[in-house]
Amino acid sequence: MPREYARREILIKLMEFPCSALLLSLCGLQEVEATAERADEATAEALYGMGIQVDKCIGCGSCVAACKAENDVPEEPFYFRTWVERYVIHDDGRVQVDSPDGGIRGFTSRQEDGASVLRAFFVPKLCNQCDNPPCVQVCPVGATFKTEDGVILVDSDYCIGCRYCIQACPYGARYLDPRTKTADKCTFCYHRIKQGLLPACVEVCPTQARVFGELTSRASPLRRMMRMSELQVLKPSLNTEPKVYYSKLDGEVR
């Protein structure tokens, strides 16, 4: 059995005992220290965020397809780092939300039942890269951590697949990779942005509905968007302090 999998199995077994929290803290001490070292290596000068202009999204699914290809996300239709939801608001108060295969192939017209539609729109979703991330708080071995430039990452070498972070995420933005049995999610294409490139979803968006940039730079596209738009975040009452900002976000979006 490979060393990393043997270690993971041992830690999972430890969680079955009442004293698992203490045991995990002892076993995970080196992992937490290593996590701190990884975070210290990040560039502190930048603080990354993303803006999404809801009124510009056409639901084409290009962002979803590009994300899967760039980040080797499993092909099955229920594994996504980013996805698109369609909201249909009816005059009788009903709100219908769908996201066929995460919106990767776009959306087809839906058969209505006679009630008139007040409005319809698309909402891209992804990890909100919270400044106060609950996923980091619950990880027992420090596999999920926040870099100094504000991006939440998962170190698959340390992840034991306990799913605590998946349950803790209020945005449903994490999944367990069926191949590695470790948690995965959007990273803003960290490997790309550290090379000065845009995240794949931003680069392929045909309407520029997604805007990426540094929150600490007044000249960044994101800061320009923030100055010119009224912004909202998802689930603000949770105080997770997301760094994904929406403009023209309808009050029905949850």
Per the structure block, which two tokens stand in for 165?
């972070």
The separation between CA 218 and the C-alpha centre of its own chain, rounded to angstroms, equals 24
> What single-letter DSSP state applies at residue 111?
P
* Three-class secondary structure of residue 100 per DSSP: helix
User: What's the topology of domain 3-41+130-184?
Assistant: Alpha-Beta Plaits (3.30.70)
Domain residue extents for the chain = 3-41+130-184, 48-129+190-247
CATH number assigned to the domain covering 48-129+190-247: 3.30.70.20
Start-to-end C-alpha separation, the chain: 43
Q: Tell me which amino acid residue 186 is.
A: C
Backbone angles phi, psi at 248, to 5 degrees: 60, 35
Residues 138-171 have pLDDT tens digits of 999 999 999 999 999 999 999 999 999 999 999 9
pTM score of the predicted model = 0.83
**pLDDT digit string, tens, across residues 165-209:** 999 999 999 999 999 999 999 999 999 999 999 999 999 999 999
On whether the CB atoms of residues 39 and 147 are closer than 8 A, the answer is yes
Can you read off the two tokens belonging to residue 98?
């769908």
Confidence tier at 236 by pLDDT (50, 70, 90): very high
Which pLDDT score, from 0 to 100, does residue 43 have? 43
Those residues whose C-beta lies under 8 Å from the C-beta of residue 78, and which sit 6 or more positions away, are: 102, 175
Q: Which two tokens stand for residue 171?
A: 């945005």
Closest by CA position to 69, among listed 193, 174, 201:
201
**Burial grade of 160 (CB within 10 A; 0-12, 13-18, 19 or more):** buried
